[in-house]
Amino acid sequence: MALIVQKYGGTSVGSVERIFNVARRVAGCARSGNAVAVVVSAMGDTTDDLLALARSVSEKPPERETAMLLTTGEQVSAALLAMALDKLGCPACSFTGPQAGILTDGVPLDARIRAFNPVKVRQALEEGKVAVVAGFQGADPDGLLNTLGRGGSDTTAVALAAALGADLCEIYTDVDGVYTVDPRLVPAAGKMDFISYDEMLEMASLGAKVLHPRAVDCGRAHGVVIHVRSSFNEETGTLVKEDTALETGTVVRGIACDTDQAKIAIIGVPDRPGIAARIFSAIGQRGINVDLIVQSIRRNGENDILFTVRADDVDKTLAVVKPVADEVGARDVCVHRGVAKVSVIGAGMMHHSGVAASMFEALASEGINIEIISTSEIRISCLIDETRVQDAARAIHRKFGLGNDRQ
């Protein structure tokens, strides 16, 4: 008997019919003798619809109340799935995040899990029931409801698998697994059988939407093997786990594209020690993530500093950057939203030279200009014009012979 955690995304539970489809799968897994705990997302676009509803009441709804509202979405699907299982003769009971034992840190809409003690879930499993847990939520020490940030049900599932010491965590979604690149951009994209935690974390953080980065991080920290697969067929998906091969032959494993980026340029910054620290600590204090950063070569005692943030964070960023830029005597602050970040990822890159050159050659062959470059041990990212993203992804995919571009 195995202990399995399964998570079903919004599309997989998007209608009553689909909830029954999920219930049949869950019941089948339980009837083969496994203990099954299930985590569900809200049905279809429920979270977006609830956010729109909140905004129709107030342009700036209080975060506490927004969390209260959003957590209902996952409760609906958890309760309906438990009912469907019951209808199929498979005993089940549903739990909210707090009932399942998730204690969060009090940040209303982007909370972290502080502790997870799944007493009631364990009890239900021991009684031979399927435990259905509402994803994406927890309660802080005062009992206030928090959400785990968009896409956070994945994190609930992996954290539950870690807390229960489950044998496997299956993430059921509407695609067949993790692809070498977004198949909507590059038809030659291929499904990967396996990807390491480090590589998946880069892919997820750099724009591959299939898994929430925090879920990958949690899986890596607790050694939870994650199987990303489709809820619409029986195919094996992609395993996310520790890289156990002594030497991997793969240099580049995948490509991630992120069009949700904006570039901010601070022009004419006096070239003195401490200025970059002032600017970026102000940004950091607001919890804004900065990614690519470049500083131009000094001329006339001045630099330009360019960096990227998520397009959603532009207003927040400008609100902190403008006053600091004025204070230090910078000449101007400009924003450019039409940019995208294309990245190649692969743990094998660490021991191979020439990967950057191949990527730049692929971009050059398409006449694509690179605005900013950044690298880590296992990835190379280039900021390019947003309208060229598809050309870039195709050319790079071909250059590295990934997926069905393999020769």
Interface ranges with ligand ASP (CB under 6 A): 10, 41-42, 47, 73, 135-136, 150-154
Select from 150-158, 219-227, 284-292, 383-391 the region that touches Mg ion (CB under 5 A): 150-158
Can you tell me the distance from the alpha carbon of 248 to that of 404, in angstroms, rounded to the nearest whole number?
Answer: 19
151 binds Mg ion per the rule CB under 5 A: yes
Closer residue to ligand ASP (CB): 41 or 303: 41
- CA of residue 395 relative to chain centroid, distance: 25
Please choose which of ligand ASP, Mg ion, none residue 308 contacts, taking the beta carbon within 5 to 8 angstroms, the exact cut-off set by kind: none
Q: Are 62 and 109 in contact (CB under 8 A)?
A: no
Torsion sign over Cα 12, 18, 19, 23: negative
Distances from the Cα of 14 to the Cαs of 95, 102, 158, 196, in angstroms? 19, 25, 22, 30
Closer residue to ligand ASP (CB): 7 or 379: 7
In angstroms, give the least distance from the CB of 46 to ligand ASP.
Answer: 7
In angstroms, give the least distance from the CB of 382 to ligand ASP.
Answer: 28
14 binds Mg ion per the rule CB under 5 A: no
Q: Are 208 and 258 in contact (CB under 8 A)?
A: no
- Two tokens, residue 230: 């489709």
Please choose which of Mg ion, ligand ASP, none residue 219 contacts, taking the beta carbon within 5 to 8 angstroms, the exact cut-off set by kind: none
- Two tokens, residue 48: 């977006």
Select from 32-40, 145-153, 255-263, 370-378 the region that touches Mg ion (CB under 5 A): 145-153
- Two tokens, residue 199: 């590589």
Can you tell me the distance from the alpha carbon of 284 to that of 291, in angstroms, rounded to the nearest whole number?
Answer: 11
**DSSP annotation string for 159-190:** HHHHHHT-SEEEEEESSSS-BSS-TTT-TT--
In angstroms, give the least distance from the CB of 313 to ligand ASP.
Answer: 17
Closer residue to ligand ASP (CB): 73 or 348: 73
Q: Are 213 and 232 in contact (CB under 8 A)?
A: no
Closer residue to ligand ASP (CB): 100 or 368: 100
Please choose which of ligand ASP, Mg ion, none residue 140 contacts, taking the beta carbon within 5 to 8 angstroms, the exact cut-off set by kind: none
Closer residue to Mg ion (CB): 172 or 194: 172
In angstroms, give the least distance from the CB of 140 to Mg ion.
Answer: 23
**DSSP annotation string for 278-320:** HHHHHHHHTTPPP--EEEPPPBTTEEEEEEEEEGGGHHHHHHH
# residues contacting Mg ion (CB under 5 A): 1
In angstroms, give the least distance from the CB of 66 to Mg ion.
Answer: 19
In angstroms, give the least distance from the CB of 395 to Mg ion.
Answer: 28
Put residue 10 in one of left, alpha, beta given phi > 0 → left and psi -120 to 50 → alpha.
Answer: alpha
Closer residue to Mg ion (CB): 108 or 151: 151
Please choose which of ligand ASP, Mg ion, none residue 150 contacts, taking the beta carbon within 5 to 8 angstroms, the exact cut-off set by kind: ligand ASP
Residues forming the site for Mg ion (CB under 5 A): 151
